[in-house]
Amino acid sequence: MRLKQRRRVFAIGILSGPLLWTLAFMFIPYSIMFAYSFFTRKFPTFVPDFQIGNYITLFADPQYYQVLLRTLKIGVFTTIFSLILAYPLAYFLVFKIRSPRLRTALYIAVIVPLWVSYLLRAYTWKTILGSQGVLNSFLVWTGLLDQPSDLFLYNQFAMVLTLTYIFVPFMVMPIYTALEKIPRSLIDASKDLGVGRIHTFLLVTVPLSLPGILAGATFTFCLTIGDFVAPFLVGGANGAMIATVVQSQFGTALNWPLGSALSIVLLIIVLTIISLSDRVERAGRLDLA
Amino acid sequence: MATLTEAASASARFARRLRLPRLDAPQVSTRALGVAAASTIAFLYLPIVVLIVFSFNDNPVTTLPLRGFTWRWYESAFANADLLRALWNSIHVASSATVLCIVIGVPAAIALDRIEFSGKALFRRAVLLPLVLPGIITGISMLNLFRVIGFDLSLTTVIVGHGTALVSVVITQVFARLQRFNRRLEEASDDLGATPLQTFWLVTLPSIRTAIVGSALLAFTLSFDEIPVTFFLTGRDNTLPMYIYSTLRSGITPEINAIGTIIVVTSLFIIFLSVYLLSDKQEGR
């Protein structure tokens, strides 16, 4: 009995801190943000209210829904390009590098940039792509261009390039883990049964690595659509994304209710994607069992 | 153009002289895959190399060709009082946020691993959410909270924000280590009459220590470089990334390359250490 009581005290001691923290700094702030999204703006501040005008504005005013659509488009392209770069890399590391030591070393080399200053890595692309930048001066120097081009920077291409660059390691990580878990015997069995290389890849390897692909795509997409650093640095005048607009609503535009409504929309998109990918992954797991 | 053709035929001659074996299809696909993998790794490191090279280039503009070696940008970075104050603020914020992440994250990981309570699924979702949640949502929602309770923005609010956004890094790593931990050791400790607290200090903690240190290093680096949360929660004081962010508005200076190189090289070092500590080989002994 005493041991049980002690355990209970221990459990409460362990749990109360994190629980209170989550309550105070996640649930309550989200609730306030949710409430604000129904408030009415009254320049220079806002008053309590309950109306869905802010949400209507977001989906009716082209200025806002175009930003929403652009953000989703950039998110989709970034996810696709990251996958195209990450999958062959992860596949090569897992199946073609024989030495485990070298494989681990290369894997670490690939994922380490992920944690290195996000701002500086995005900023470097600005110095590379700019009209006075590394790429332009290189092209002019070698004579491939007569004069610097301003085609490289301040457009959606530059944003997708920068974001892809940032999220490739995020994509490699789960795909690598998924590929590593595939029993080699399954692939050998498929080959023994006379299935060709490409078919084995498409029918065995890819489906078994699907959870990794899904996790990587979820990370990449969710973090891309909430980014405001890449649009700020390389996006240019027509490069605003959801987070750029949120930022200006809480800054110069001074419309907190609208900014809160937009944040709630972003939060809902992220939560929907997480639960969708969770469900698909679970369905996939059942399929394999 | 002519030089290109010459180079191509020269390399063809060279290949013939080497008598390279003719490749069959699988070998070709392996080669192609290898080239793709190598190019992606090059792509990942190219900007880092550019940053470092241009921090030593004696030219106020980042253009090729390179002009010559200089320490000038490092000297001017370290003579810049605003920049140094921002650097100091960042170190203060990152260390405090890291302590916060450990104090909240380790108990949370232990709770997820071994305590059953109602609402556990929701709790797990909530603490792991910041991993995929864009930082701007954490920033905005906490800005709203601080406004409601009338708390002035300062480095303290930034620290609380970083703690909330980054605690999931510690939780996932420590939780993963706990899952692989041999529970028999704790049972043995209990049977031998140790109190739960003694068991924790003497048995559990030593075996998750490297996971804690590794994830703390990770949290420190991430907090040091954090932008989206800081942007909304900082008062008059700037952190280093915020300082860099605001100077980028007015244009690029090689000073940023210099301080950036220091940050990137330091981060690389800390992260390698962290990944080593978090790897499976370090599992509790």
Given this model, what pLDDT does residue B1 score? 40
Local structure of A47: helix, strand or coil: strand
pLDDT band at A286 (very low <50, low <70, confident <90, very high): very low
Please answer whether residues B77 and B140 qualify as being in contact, where contact means their C-beta atoms are separated by less than 8 angstroms. Answer: no
Q: What are the pLDDT digits (tens) for A199-209? A: 888 888 888 88
Partner residue opposite B225 with nearest CB, options A33, A118, A169: A118
pLDDT of residue B176: 86
**What does the alpha-carbon distance between residue A164 and residue B104 come to, in Å, rounded to a whole number?**
33
Best residue in B136, B218, B247, B265 for a mutation probing chain A (most A CBs within 10 Å): B136
pLDDT for res B162: 94
User: Between A and B, how many CB-CB pairs are < 8 A?
Assistant: 235
Least confident segment among A4-8, A242-246, B159-163: A4-8
pLDDT confidence of A87, banded at 50, 70, 90?
very high
Task: Give the model's confidence band at A84: pLDDT under 50 very low, under 70 low, under 90 confident, else very high.
Answer: very high
Q: How far apart are CA B117 and CA B138, in angstroms?
A: 26
Residue B156 to residue B89: CA distance in whole angstroms: 11
**Separation CA B59–CA B49 (nearest Å):** 17
A284 — pLDDT class (breaks 50, 70, 90): low
Task: Decide which of B117 and A281 is more confident.
Answer: B117
Shortest Cα distance from A127 to chain B (angstroms)?
7
Label residue A10 by pLDDT band (50, 70, 90): confident
pLDDT, average across residues A261-276? 91
What is the model's pLDDT at position A13?
A: 82
CA distance B60 to chain A (A): 11
**Res. A253 pLDDT band, cuts 50 70 90:** confident
Spans of chain B below 70 pLDDT: 1-26, 62-65, 250-252, 280-285
The predicted-structure confidence for A207-242, as pLDDT tens digits, reads as follows: 888 888 998 999 899 989 988 888 888 887 788 898
Mean pLDDT to the nearest integer, A23-39: 90
Determine the pLDDT at residue B166: 92
Tell me the nearest-neighbour CA distance from A205 into chain B, angstroms: 16
- Whether residues A132 and B225 touch (CB distance < 8 A) is answered with no
pLDDT at B160: 94
pLDDT at B122: 86
Strand, helix or coil for residue B24: coil
Whether residue A120 and residue B51 make contact (CB cut-off 8 A), yes or no, is yes
Residue A88: list chain B partners with CB under 8 A: 33, 36-37, 40
Q: Which of B31, B137, B166, B253 to mutate to test the interface with A (most CBs of A within 10 A)?
A: B137
Q: What percent of chain A has pLDDT over 70?
A: 96
Which has the higher per-residue pLDDT, A185 or B12? A185
What whole-number distance in Å separates Cα of residue A114 and Cα of residue A234?
19
Average pLDDT value over all residues in chain A: 84
ipTM over 0.90: no
Q: What is the pLDDT of residue B19?
A: 53
Classify residue B57 by its DSSP letter: B
A116 vs B48: CB contact, 8 Å cut-off? yes
Q: Work out the minimum CA distance from A217 to partner chain B, whole angstroms.
A: 11
pLDDT at B11: 54
Strands (E), B87-226: none
Q: Cβ(B47)–Cβ(A125) under 8 Å? A: yes
